[in-house]
Amino acid sequence: MKIFTRKLLLAAAITLALGSTAVVAENSMAAKEHTGPITNARQEAQIWTTYALSPYLRANDISVTVLDGKATLTGNVAEDVHKDLAGAIAEGVKGIDDVDNQISVDADYKAPDRSTRGYGDVVDDVTITTAIKSKLLWSKHAEGMDTKVETNNGKVELSGTVATQQAKEQAGKLAKNTNGVRSVDNKLRVSDKTADGKSYKKADAQKSTAIADSWITTKVKSTFMYSSNVAGADISVNTDKGVVTLAGKVDSGVEQALAIELAQNIRGVKSVSSKQLIF
């Protein structure tokens, strides 16, 4: 895959910096929209970055060159669908008028062995960490929890303290059921001390505070979206006075049970109605 040169990085940075003044210069520069080395570098960087983020293309050896609105793609992939995907991504970039897709398809092609993590891998790990942190924060078991989340190549490590064994187990389950997670090393310790050193009182944590129904609905939907075993897009969520109603169609009883469990564990949820969630 093409490696950014200092010149390309500089060009991309200049382009970003000039973005704030683009509106002022729009009329005078309209005729030159598709020309110039900076425009070429910006478009090339956009295509390359999208390839780097794609789990289907990042491991392949693909090079990108852009000249005055024409993108030339070279390299190797193992399947036609990956070549087509690479071409479609390039065509979708603003200002690209023509794509010369010279990528070779070889069923026996093996991606180069990369000893270091690429840009896409780093983004994946950061995304996983953020998703898990968010799910833990929204959990009704989060009281008394002081958790650190680290992800490396999809392998998650949880460390820190939680107030109860149930909270530890729930944290592990939430992490395992997150998109992109390969394994979870749950090193959480159960302690009756909170992060500030004070004694954790379960009775205080159970004192409910008013939580807006709209907040609950949003967090349930987001938890489904982050979860690997629930098709959140197929489930509608409505909340009324803390009672969550799930509706839609799922693939199995296992998915139905998981959706209900995930909703029940969101802070502020009093109960979950799943009569309209069928499979």
Domain enclosing residue 249, as ranges:
213-278
- Mean confidence (pLDDT) of the chain: 82
Q: How big is the chain, counted in residues?
A: 279
Judge whether 114 lies within some domain.
no
Determine phi and psi for 193, rounding to 5 degrees: -105, 140
CA 146 – CA 116 distance, rounded (Å): 31
How many structural domains compose the chain?
A: 3
97 with 38, same domain? yes
Specify the higher pLDDT residue, 278 or 144: 278
Asked whether the beta carbons of 193 and 199 are under 8 A apart, the reply is yes
What are 116-159's pLDDT values in tens digits? 677 788 888 999 999 999 999 999 887 667 889 999 989 999 99
Amino acid 53: pLDDT: 87
Amino acid 194: pLDDT: 55
Specify the higher pLDDT residue, 190 or 3: 190
Amino acid 18: pLDDT: 41
Q: What is the DSSP letter of 3?
A: P
Asked whether the beta carbons of 36 and 29 are under 8 A apart, the reply is no
168 with 249, same domain? no
Average pLDDT estimate for 180-199:
79
Average pLDDT estimate for 171-184:
93
137 with 53, same domain? no
Judge whether 1 lies within some domain.
no
Neighbours of 48 (CB within 10 A): 23
Judge whether 111 lies within some domain.
no
Q: State the pLDDT confidence band at 5, using cuts at 50, 70 and 90.
A: very low
Judge whether 41 lies within some domain.
yes
Amino acid 184: pLDDT: 95
Amino acid 13: pLDDT: 44
What are 20-65's pLDDT values in tens digits? 444 444 444 444 455 688 999 999 999 999 998 888 888 788 999 9
Judge whether 115 lies within some domain.
no
Amino acid 117: pLDDT: 72
pTM, to two decimals: 0.64
Q: Which of 170, 205, 240 is a domain's end point?
A: 205
Q: Which of 205, 233, 249 is a domain's end point?
A: 205
Say yes or no to pLDDT of 249 above 80.
yes
Judge whether 144 lies within some domain.
yes
Q: Put residue 217 in one of left, alpha, beta given phi > 0 → left and psi -120 to 50 → alpha.
A: alpha
14 with 101, same domain? yes
16 with 97, same domain? yes
Bridge partners of 199, per DSSP, are: 193
Amino acid 142: pLDDT: 77
Say yes or no to pLDDT of 66 above 80.
yes
Q: Which of 205, 236, 266 is a domain's end point?
A: 205
19 with 58, same domain? yes
CATH of the domain at 238: 3.30.1340
Q: State the pLDDT confidence band at 94, using cuts at 50, 70 and 90.
A: very high
Say yes or no to pLDDT of 19 above 70.
no
Share of the chain above pLDDT 90, in %: 54
Judge whether 97 lies within some domain.
yes
Determine phi and psi for 8, rounding to 5 degrees: -70, -40
